Structure 1
Amino acid sequence: MRCIDQVLFTRHGCRNEDKILNVASTASQLTGLRQAIYHATKGFVLSFTEAIWEEVKDTQVTITALQPGSTDTVFFHKAQMETSKIVQDGSLAGPADVAKDGYDAQRAGDDKVVSGFKNKVQLTMSNLKPESVVAASVGVQQKPAD
């Protein structure tokens, strides 16, 4: 087995098995008003994970992208978004549920998992709408609450 970009390189050479979990986000597939760099960065994580997954698919190595939506962590505090509509509405996922979804997908060898039914519906619907409508919807969620 060859080392993929030396991601799996150890002191003794390449290992023949490993499990990697990258945290992307539902933001990786949505236009990110008020958080353009965050959304673009998560888009990179998703694309990178999918590319590496394809490169190692014939090995015992798996790489999984976890795509949670808004989760009840310190993220909103650090991003100074405590007043955003999505936080004020109280519709944040529990971190333990998100972690379990990622862990289960990683153990199963899945290439990606969207955590939470609401997030799966949101991403499915966003694929059916024009980008301008999706961007406006995301903008409303991240806008400071009145």
Structure 2
Amino acid sequence: MSADRLPASKFAVVTGASTGIGLELARCCAENGFDLVIVADEPAIETAATELRRLGRSVEAVQTDLATTEGVDKLCAAIGDRPIDALLANAGVGLGNAFLDQDFGRIRRVVDTNITGTLYLIHRAGNEMLRRNSGRILITGSIAGFMPGSFQAVYNGTKAFLDSFSFALREELRGSGVSVTCLMPGATETEFFRRADMMDTKVGTDKKDDAREVAKAGFNAMLRGESDVVTGMKNKIQTTVANVTPNEVLAKQHRKMAEPGTAKS
């Protein structure tokens, strides 16, 4: 699908849109004529909606927990019968530290947010798109999905799932009028690392990519109907190398970035 096949009145849903990449994806949508429903599990989603309305589009905020099927149902009720032209499934959480040291409730939340809730929402919205033979889906995966994530094992595993899932779903929908694009950023300047308790790690404290630039790359790739986009030359090189490097070596390399205490003094 080309951008000129979008309807004059366009409607997008962006999850995880209160801060970071999600907020910038929502901004891209508003700047390009989309009315919006934006979603997050925190009150800051209302502040984000107020900010985005200044761009002249209709913006509805929904505060709900997309780690639960009930939370996704609440979002779908807010959407109602409006045809979704673009679903930007960006909601996700991380978790640092060694797997056996992590609280299992937090582990479960990473899986439920990144995988279960995302799949449920895409299943519901995707079926609506398929009935119309029209729509775009952007899934925020990660270059983390290319490597075993020592001291970030569950998070990297969920992103490996999403990266793989996006390509599979794209193939299933080939020729249907519904496109699927996977945005695969590297470490990005957001609240992610603080919320994941990773501010004592090298990756948590190193310089990161700009969320605005990451979002623009993903949004434009979605509009073009591309399969995927890895943002930033450094990340492109890293994923290329990861494809030919043994997983044991990758796991050791990841340890140097994500193990607690690796932050520069």
TM-score (normalizing by structure 2) = 0.50
Question: 2:247 matched to 1:131?
Answer: yes
Q: Secondary structure at the match of 1:14?
A: helix
Q: Give the deviation of 1:138 after TM superposition.
A: 1.2
Query: What amino acid is aligned across from residue 126 of structure 2 in structure 1?
Result: L
- Find the counterpart in structure 2 of residue 48 from structure 1: 165
- Find the counterpart in structure 2 of residue 113 from structure 1: 229
Q: Secondary structure at the match of 2:190?
A: coil
Q: Give the deviation of 1:5 after TM superposition.
A: 5.1
More helix by share: 2
Aligned residues: 141
- Find the counterpart in structure 2 of residue 18 from structure 1: 135
- Find the counterpart in structure 1 of residue 205 from structure 2: 88
Q: Give the deviation of 1:65 after TM superposition.
A: 0.8
Identity across the alignment (%): 36
Query: What amino acid is aligned across from residue 46 of structure 1 in structure 2?
Result: D
- Find the counterpart in structure 2 of residue 8 from structure 1: 126
Encode CA deviations 1:108-144: one digit per residue, 9 max, x unaligned: 1111111111000001111222212111111111123
- Find the counterpart in structure 1 of residue 144 from structure 2: 27
Give distance in 1, aligned partners of 2:130 and 2:206: 50
Q: Secondary structure at the match of 1:137?
A: helix
Encode CA deviations 1:21-62: one digit per residue, 9 max, x unaligned: 001000111110011110111111111111110011112110
Structure 2 vs 1, CA of residues 137 and 56 (structure 1 numbering), >3 Å: closer, same or farther?
same
Q: Give the deviation of 1:6 after TM superposition.
A: 4.9
Question: 2:185 matched to 1:68?
Answer: yes
Native 8 Å contact 1:8 1:15 kept in 2: no
Q: Secondary structure at the match of 2:197?
A: coil
Query: What amino acid is aligned across from residue 250 of structure 2 in structure 1?
Result: V
Give distance in 1, aligned partners of 2:153 and 2:163: 15
- Cα RMSD (Å): 1.9
Encode CA deviations 1:80-127: one digit per residue, 9 max, x unaligned: 10121123232x100001101101111111111111110000011112
Structure 1 unaligned spans of 5+: none
Structure 2 vs 1, CA of residues 76 and 59 (structure 1 numbering), >3 Å: closer, same or farther?
same
Pick the structure with greater CA Rg. 2
Encode CA deviations 1:1-25: one digit per residue, 9 max, x unaligned: xxx9554334x98111100100100
Structure 2 unaligned spans of 5+: 1-121
